[in-house]
Amino acid sequence: MDTAALPVAGKAASDGDGAATRPRRSMHLLERSQESALAALAAIASYLDSDDDLPVFFERLNATVAELTGARRAAFWRLGARGTLGLQPAPSGFADDSNVYRVRLQLGAKGEGVIERIVFAGETELVKGTSPGLDLVWRDAGLGEVTSSIAAAWRAGERRIGAVAVYDAPNGFTANDLWLLRIVGMAAGLLWQYRESEDDLGRTAVRLEQAMAARRQLLNNIAAGGDEARRRFASALHDDSLQLLTGAELQLERLRLDSNGHADSAQLDQLETTLRKVEDSLRRLLIDVSPEPLQLPTDLQEGISERLESMRLRAGIETNIDCRVPSDMPPAIQAIVMKNIAEALTNVEKHARATSVTVGAEIVDGGVRVVVSDNGTGFVVAESARIPGHIGLVAMRERAQLAGGWCHVESEPGTGTKVEFWIPLSL
């Protein structure tokens, strides 16, 4: 036995034990780092399931970050609009009278400042468990109690929100602590962005509701104003113009009786015929503008049927209806739908020279879809705005759009016309 080999063998055995120990130690450190990162992420994610406001959340998060890095203090710093870092409320470990609450750190121009390089460019150099350059920044800002510190960017993607910093670790900070801090900064950045998006969504929802309320009010005002204007016009037409015309006809009749067959009797007969035509025209206008036919007796289907029957008797147009809507539709929706149908049918009577018209109504995509089609002469839709008497098409479009729906008109000369519109069931 070669006893000279024993020390060598013993040394080799010792080296083998050390080599085996190093991977185990590295694995242990890696596991601890992963556990710390998961704990930090869990603390951040807990905000999503809590009712805490931001100061309470940051107070808990700072305490967790300080514990995981072995620090005595931790704080988030918020980047302001002018490139100044200010303390985010509720740091951990600082006394109430600490200067930290008054510190404002101005970032350097063009990324050349210490904060820019160490925090946002990631050029942190650890010396004896701290970042000397960062320590100097805190002391210059009035935080003389700081003995060691590290910091990482608080960001969401490329957007810089601020920085997260920890202070005064009794055993100093390690590269793993800095890595953990960067994980916390990224996760907190995503949470901050989520919170901002949630706030923006809430504000947008409020503005949308306000706009919806304003639109409903405007729609009601337009409807009420339109009906009132029509009512006044119909009243003036009935009580004034038609009464005066009736009086003129009575006077003319007395003149005819007094003429006793004189030569001007034929002229008086002609004048009477003209007056009766004028009266008939005014009475048709009275029917068109009167708001009473738009008031629904019971439901939408009955209102459409009555309007079509009136049209058939007055104009001799064949009518068809296919109405598949519930009887309990909101009255405001029924009124809007009925106004547009009445407008479309009035256009058919006045301009289409049609012999038949069909009205269809059904529930589609949470609203009422209506189609009014005729076999009349048709027209060029693009020129309708310049054609006298087609203002009703504009009114139908505007009424549907104000209610949150839409209105389309299809027509060509000689092919008839199809008016289609959709009104949501809730304004």
Q: How confident is the model at residue 111 (pLDDT cuts 50, 70, 90)?
A: low
3 state SS for 300-352: HHHHHHHHHHHHHHHHCCEEEEEEECCCCCCHHHHHHHHHHHHHHHHHHHHHH
Q: What secondary structure letter does DSSP report for 113?
A: S
Rounded average pLDDT over 243-253: 70
Structural contact between residues 363 and 328, judged by C-beta atoms closer than 8 angstroms = no
Instruction: Flag whether pLDDT at 47 surpasses 80.
Output: no
- Give which of 221, 242, 94 is closest to 165, Cα–Cα: 94
Instruction: Flag whether pLDDT at 12 surpasses 60.
Output: no
3 state SS for 367-408: EEEEEEEECCCCCCHHHHHHCCCCHHHHHHHHHHHHCCCEEE
Instruction: Flag whether pLDDT at 319 surpasses 60.
Output: yes
Residue 4, pLDDT score: 38
Kindly report the backbone phi and psi dihedral angles of residue 126, in degrees, each rounded to the nearest multiple of 5, phi listed first: -85, 125
Residue 173, pLDDT score: 94
Residue 88, pLDDT score: 92
Which of 64-78, 105-119, 188-202, 247-261 has the highest average model confidence (pLDDT)? 64-78
Q: Considering the chain, what is the average pLDDT of its residues?
A: 80
Residue 209, pLDDT score: 77
More confident residue, 206 or 25: 206
pTM of the full structure? 0.51
Domains annotated for the chain, with CATH where assigned, are 15-198 (3.30.450.40), 294-427 (3.30.565.10)
More confident residue, 88 or 327: 88
Burial of 88 per CB tally in 10 Å (0-12, 13-18, 19+): buried
Q: How confident is the model at residue 296 (pLDDT cuts 50, 70, 90)?
A: very low
Contacts for 321 with CB less than 8 Å, ≥ 6 apart = 301, 304, 305, 308, 358, 359, 360
Instruction: Flag whether pLDDT at 268 surpasses 50.
Output: yes
